[in-house]
Amino acid sequence: MDDATADVERRRRLLGPSVSADDPALLTFALGPHRFGLPLDRVVEVTRAVAVAELPGAPPIVDGAVNYRGRIVPVLDVATRFGLDSPPLAPDQHFVFAQGRFHLVALRVERAEAVVGVEPSAVQPPDIVLGSPHVLGVARLSDGLIVIQDLDRFLSVDEEQEIVRALEETIDTVAPAPVDLDGAAPKDQP
């Protein structure tokens, strides 16, 4: 089975029989009362939030960095990007690991909700969200609106460069907490 076929099969399993694998699919998530979506083809994995290590020199949108399967990954504060109050990091929040324009990023969200199929006709153009260049569009679903993020434009070029510099400068000294995928405590902790 080639990669494209495996991806379609994965989407069918995630979406269930009532949604066509040919329709765009979104991972939906919440920030307070607001709902957002991310194209499923950009999502790598969703995990529980863990402590982040500071990433000196990174732009304000970056909470810090985590070790994700041996890679140092910047954690982005989605609430700040959308001008919302950003609650303190808590274990009941989620990280959405997704492929950004140039590298893997972790989006800190209050909770990941579901994978939903969206008919193209249900998506309005991004110009209805004024002043938000990082929005692909707004999906009208039966249970409300979903603001769809554009990860290619989520960070400015300057922010991308600052992140790369910060990662390069601290790659040997940053020791973020590993992402706990199994729910067990790390071996060096009780």
pLDDT tens digits, residue range 93-138?
Answer: 999 999 988 889 999 999 999 898 888 877 877 666 555 677 888 8
Separation of alpha carbons 7 and 61, rounded Å: 31
CB count within 10 Å of CB 81 equals 19
Q: Is 69 left (phi over 0), alpha (psi -120 to 50) or beta?
A: left
Separation of alpha carbons 2 and 14, rounded Å: 18
pLDDT at site 179: 56
pLDDT at site 119: 81
Degrees to nearest 5, angle at CA 100 with 94 and 105:
40
Domains and CATH numbers, the chain: 3-170 (2.40.50.180)
Model pTM score: 0.75
Separation of alpha carbons 119 and 107, rounded Å: 25
Model confidence pLDDT, tens digit, residues 57-81: 999 999 999 999 989 999 999 888 8
Model confidence pLDDT, tens digit, residues 99-110: 988 889 999 999
Three-class SS of residue 101? coil
What mean pLDDT comes out for the span 146-155? 86
